[in-house]
Every structure is written in structure tokens, then in C-alpha cells.
Structure 1
Amino acid sequence: MNSKVKAYLPMLWILVIPVLNIFYAVLNQAHLPVYSLMTDLDAQIPFVPMFIIPYLIWYPFIIIVLFMLCIRERSVYYRTLLTQCLGLVACYIIFYLFQTTVERPTAMGTGIFEGLVNLVYSTDNPYNCFPSIHVLTSYLMIKGAMACASYPNWERTAVKVCAWMIIASTLFVKQHVLLDIAGAIAVVELLWYGVGKLSLGQQSKFKGEVVRQNLTAD
């Protein structure tokens, strides 16, 4: 097999994500009781249709960042991807046990941005809100970019700006509320730490095994 092709084979692990997303579709419907986490502060946040652009950029953004991590620092790529998969599983469990919804605007204009918002609304029911998967994965890309030593500062800044724009967009297009964002960030921080500790433990175990084998050989 060509060495260049072989180098990109780990990217195939990303296909686990669409498989996991099957559960999102199954859970994205009302099952009683359905809760609302909207606060008075959320009610003050305006509906801004143009933010649908960063909201939709989320799809290529995640793939691009994971691809860059894969070709630059494989260990960070695996840590990021595993954290994302575990985060999705955690979200689906929460969706099943604690289903939430967000009230959407009923009156919109007829511009291109409003049309895109309506397209999103028509394909994504207003459930599976807490924690926000958009926020979870976007914030995770920041963690991955910051952990990758070969990422130059300007690229890290670009990832941060894009990620926070996407996170903000979830509020401005009324797909999520503030607690959805807080919950997603908390899940990432917990899992990122846990996966990091696990990988360090595995590395230490491997190094110890190598040392024992060398001593035995001597």
C-alpha cells in the first residue's frame, strides 16, 4: 500500500461519528416530560438570522480541524476523536433521560438567511438541546488545537475564532440556550481530562513493559 495513503487511514475513524449520529435522529423527538432551560437572560438575546452562516460552517469546520490534527500530531487526533465520541454518547444518554427543548421564533422575514434558518428548523426538531453538540464539538476543537504542538499561533487563533462564532450562533439562531453551552463545555472538560489521564497511563504501562523486556534481554 502507498505510504501516503497509509498515512491517512486513521482518518477513517471519523466514520464512527455518523454511525453514532443515528442515535441523535432517534432521540430528536418529544418524549414526556420535556423541559425548558431558558432563562431571563436567554430571552434578552436577539434572533439574528445571519448567524446561520457560522452555524452551518460547523460541519466542514469539525472535519478540517480533525484532518489537520491527524496529519500533524496523531496522539492529539486520537485523544480529540475519542473525546468527541464519548461526548456524543454522554449527550445521547442525557437526551434520553432529560429531554429539553428551545422555543423558536415564529415570525421571520423572507431573506436568504431566514430561508437557511427555516431549512435548519425543518430538518432538526427543537429537542436534543442540553448539552449542545454544536458547542461540545466546537469547544473540543479548541482543546485539540491548543494541545497540538505543531499548530502555529495564527491557526490556533483561527480555530478559536471560528469555534466561538459557531458557539455564539447557537444562541442567535435560537437553537440553544446558555445552559446548553455551559453543559457542553463541562462535558468536554471532564472527558478531555479523563481521556488524557487514560492515554498517559497507557503510555506509562507501555514504557514499563519495554524496560522490563530490555532488562530481561540483558
Structure 2
Amino acid sequence: MDNGDGLSDPPDKNTFEPDKTIDSVMTMTKIREYKWVLYGTVSILVILGVSLIYSIVADISTQLHTPVTLATPVDLAIPLIPPAIIIYWYVFYSFIFFSYFYFAFVHREYRNALVLAYVLVNLVAYAIYLVFPVLGPERAVSGSDFFSYQIQLLYAGDVPVNCFPSLHGSTSLLSAYALWRAKKEYGYISWPIAVAVMVSTLLVRQHWIVDQIAATLVTLPIAYFVFTRFKYTKVLESKTVVKRWQLLVSTIAAVFFMVLYILVFYVM
């Protein structure tokens, strides 16, 4: 605007510039989208990285100490039931991969708590393995049916030491607890799955009963502390609204990675 002396007034700093404002909002939105994808991906990589340490710990522990057995009369009376491999392998890996993807990309409020609890549980288990390696049940399977063949693949690809505590049990309990914390209704499914997985470890002759007791005593206190007491990860009230398509995508991703994991680590 001309102020009468031939000069224009300087632009008002408060002048609204809609184009720049919209661009700024869109840029910030894109940054947030990229950040949660990045954080979710990193969280899954951390969990998988910690899991891969297991084989290293197994090799070291057997060199440091002679593995012992924790069999009880009840354990010795439990028969090998090959169909239990469906729960031990396929249900278990689908379940934990679902929880990883669900909390990494959908219910992100609990993502950091799940990752921290997972790392702590595994570190405690690894420490126990290094000083107290436990040998699993005697393993023998005969038969050419589908279930027996799956058991043979399991035995060929898995080290029968470092059974106490059971990481199958610990991981299942942690996933069940996290899902229950996120939404109480999820507990109606997650807790029975965790228990079924723990029982399946006995039926495929991979663990002793005391291994599952130890898994419970290690996992639940850590999960409770991280999810409800540790100030950096606790969530007092979840505000996430989960859509059905998000559950479907998490389920599809879980099944895909379950198949991939078994193929890479047991079949190939």
C-alpha cells in the first residue's frame, strides 16, 4: 500500500499466507509418517537382533559348563505328540510376529514398552544360560507323516540346550501381556495362546515343566514393571483407535514372516 510518499508499507508479519501454511502442514505430516514407519522398523530389527544372539550364547554356554537336566517324573511321563508342532511352530511364530507388527505400526503407544521388555527378558535368559545351561528332553521321533517330518526339522535345526527359562514361554507371555494391556478383550485370545504354546513345548519334547515356570517368573514381573511403572515406557491410558484393516494387515504380515522365518532357520 502506498503511504503517500511514494513508498509502500513493509509487509505485515502477521499476514496469512495460505499456500505456505498448507505446505508446512503437509511437510510436517509427511515427516511424522516417515518417523513412525522408521521407528516401527527399527523396533522390529532390535527384537530380531536380540533373538539372533541366542545361537551365540548357546555355543558359549556349552563350552563354559556341562548342561544339566531338570526332568521330573511328570516330564518323563509326557509322551511326544507330533501334532503339537502346529502350535509350537506355526501358531507361536504367527502370534509373536503379529504382536511385533501390531505394536510397531498400529498400537504404537506400547511399542517402546514391548521392545524394552523383550530385550530385558532375553538378557536375563541369556545370563542364566551362560551360568546354568540346561539340556532338554531326550529327542527321538519315527514316522514319515507330516507332523513327524516337522518334528524332525525342528530337532535338526534347534540346539537342545539353554532350555531354562523357555524363550518360547517368555516371548508368548510377553506378547499376551502386551496385547492384554493394549485392550482387555485381546486377553481372551492372547492368554490362551500363550498357555497353549507353553504346553506345546512339553509335547514336542523341547522343554521341562520347570522351564516354563522359570519363564513365567522372569517375564511377568519385567512386563509389569516396564508397562506400568517405568516412567519412560508406561502408558496410563491408551488412546489408539484400531481399525479392522490394520488388524488384517498385521495378521497377513505375521503369517508371511512366520513362513519365512521357519524356511530360513529350519528348512534351508
Relative to the length of structure 1, the TM-score reads 0.83
Q: In the alignment, which residue of structure 1 is the partner of 2:229?
A: 197
**Unaligned residue ranges in structure 1 (runs of 5+):** 205-218
Tell me, yes or no, if the aligned pair for 2:163 and 2:211 is still in contact at 8 Å. yes
- For 2:73, give the aligned amino acid: D
Q: In the alignment, which residue of structure 2 is the partner of 1:116?
A: 150
Q: Distance in 2 between matches of 1:77 and 1:84?
A: 11
1:35 maps to which of 68, 83, 86: 68
Q: Distance in 2 between matches of 1:160 and 1:182?
A: 15
Tell me, yes or no, if the aligned pair for 1:38 and 1:177 is still in contact at 8 Å. yes
1:7 aligns with 2:36: yes
Q: In the alignment, which residue of structure 2 is the partner of 1:25?
A: 55
**Unaligned residue ranges in structure 2 (runs of 5+):** 1-29, 237-268
Matched position secondary structure for 1:36: coil
TM-superposed deviation, 1:37: 0.8
TM-superposed deviation, 1:107: 4.0
1:47 maps to which of 80, 85, 89: 80
Residue-by-residue CA offset, 1:135-176 (whole Å, 9 max, x unaligned): 000011111111113x6x2x4322223222211111100111
Tell me, yes or no, if the aligned pair for 2:139 and 2:155 is still in contact at 8 Å. no
- For 1:187, give the aligned amino acid: V
Correspondence 1:117-136 to 2 at 5 A? 117-136=151-170
Correspondence 1:94-109 to 2 at 5 A? 94-109=128-143
1:83 maps to which of 117, 140, 162: 117
Tell me, yes or no, if the aligned pair for 1:77 and 1:144 is still in contact at 8 Å. no
Q: Distance in 2 between matches of 1:104 and 1:50?
A: 18
TM-superposed deviation, 1:7: 3.3
1:140 maps to which of 174, 184, 188: 174
Q: Distance in 2 between matches of 1:101 and 1:56?
A: 20
Residue-by-residue CA offset, 1:107-151 (whole Å, 9 max, x unaligned): 4222111111111111111011000101000011111111113x6
Q: Distance in 2 between matches of 1:123 and 1:52?
A: 14
Q: Distance in 1 between matches of 2:219 and 2:79?
A: 27
TM-superposed deviation, 1:203: 8.6
Residue-by-residue CA offset, 1:85-113 (whole Å, 9 max, x unaligned): 11111111111010001123324222111
After superposition, the Cα gap between the structure-2 partners of 1:131 and 1:192, relative to the gap in structure 1 and judged at 3 Å, is: same
- For 1:36, give the aligned amino acid: T
Tell me, yes or no, if the aligned pair for 1:170 and 1:176 is still in contact at 8 Å. yes
Tell me, yes or no, if the aligned pair for 2:136 and 2:206 is still in contact at 8 Å. yes
Q: Distance in 2 between matches of 1:85 and 1:144?
A: 14
Q: Distance in 2 between matches of 1:109 and 1:11?
A: 43
- For 2:195, give the aligned amino acid: W
Q: Distance in 1 between matches of 2:211 and 2:172?
A: 13
1:179 aligns with 2:210: yes
How large is the RMSD of aligned CA atoms in angstroms? 2.3
- For 1:135, give the aligned amino acid: G
TM-superposed deviation, 1:202: 8.1
Q: Distance in 2 between matches of 1:118 and 1:202?
A: 42
Q: Distance in 1 between matches of 2:197 and 2:233?
A: 34
Sequence identity percentage: 26
